[in-house]
């Protein structure tokens, strides 16, 4: 008999999904503003604002992904090749 997989925890709560959905709706309709000033024009910035607002309100939202250091080493190598 195969072993059962452990129950995975939900990474996002219903409250978090609702908050993100509301902010993305504002972005789509051009109503989302960054810091109360300029309109947000970048989708990635809108997602970041939505997640931070959801976290601030106490909703459970997935953690930010960690950046890998492998990309940094490849860019240094390509920069060294360009110089020579």
| pLDDT beyond 70 at 76 | no
| pLDDT beyond 90 at 84 | no
Bin 55: left if φ > 0, else alpha if -120 < ψ < 50, else beta: alpha
Q: What is the DSSP secondary structure assignment for residue 33, as one 8-state letter?
A: E
| pLDDT confidence of residue 35 | 83
- The pTM of this model reads 0.60
Per-residue pLDDT reduced to its tens digit, 18-69: 989 999 999 999 999 988 788 999 999 999 999 988 888 888 888 777 777 6
Q: Report how far residue 11's alpha carbon sits from residue 62's, in angstroms, rounded to the nearest whole number.
A: 5
């Amino acid at each position: 008999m195969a072993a059962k997989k452990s129950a995975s925890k939900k990474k996002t709560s219903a409250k978090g999904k609702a908050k993100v959905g509301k902010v993305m709706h504002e972005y789509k309709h051009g109503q989302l503003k960054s810091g109360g000033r300029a309109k947000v024009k970048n989708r990635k910035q809108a997602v970041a604002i939505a997640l931070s607002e959801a976290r601030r309100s106490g909703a459970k939202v997935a953690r930010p992904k960690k950046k890998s250091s492998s990309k940094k080493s490849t860019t240094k190598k390509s920069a060294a090749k360009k110089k020579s």
